[in-house]
Amino acid sequence: MGRRTVEVALSVPLVLEYEEALRRPGVTKGLTSQDVDAVLDFFCSVGHLQRVFYLWRPLLLDAGDDMVLEVAVAAQCSALVTHNTRDFVGAERLSVSVLTPAEFLRQMGVLK
């Protein structure tokens, strides 16, 4: 099987949302503030900055989830990977598959 690549699509609002979520008390047990900075820096270094144009909102129940889906649509992602699949019902209308991490890794051939 050929090598498949994974690309991370980000927007400035999405990175700020990730930062806010990661800094909530109890979310990152065992990680220091410097660890959180390192995680965010890593994603920013490997991610592709995607400009978004809010043409179809709202679609989902949560505006934060709409923001994630907007990046996936704008970046023409084939999949959005999340443990929170139930909140992304409707994403298929915009041609984005919503997969759990395990489903994604199975598709990539990493898990059986």
- Domain presence at residue 1: no
- Domain presence at residue 47: yes
Q: What does the pLDDT look like over 32-45, one tens digit per residue?
A: 999 999 999 999 99
Query: Burial letters for 9-36: b for 16+ Cβ neighbours within 10 Å, e otherwise?
Result: bbbeebeeebeeebeeeeeeeeeeeeeb
- Domain presence at residue 112: no
- Domain presence at residue 3: no
| pLDDT at site 34 | 95
Q: Which residue has the tokens 């995607």?
A: 50
Q: What does the pLDDT look like over 46-103, one tens digit per residue?
A: 999 999 887 777 889 888 899 999 999 999 998 999 999 999 999 999 999 999 999 9
- Domain presence at residue 83: yes
* pTM for this model (two decimals): 0.82
- Domain presence at residue 49: yes
Helix (H) or strand (E) holding 80: strand 79-81
Could you list the residue range(s) of the whole structural domain that residue 42 is in? 9-107
- Domain presence at residue 4: no
Looking at the structure of the chain, the number of domains it has is: 1
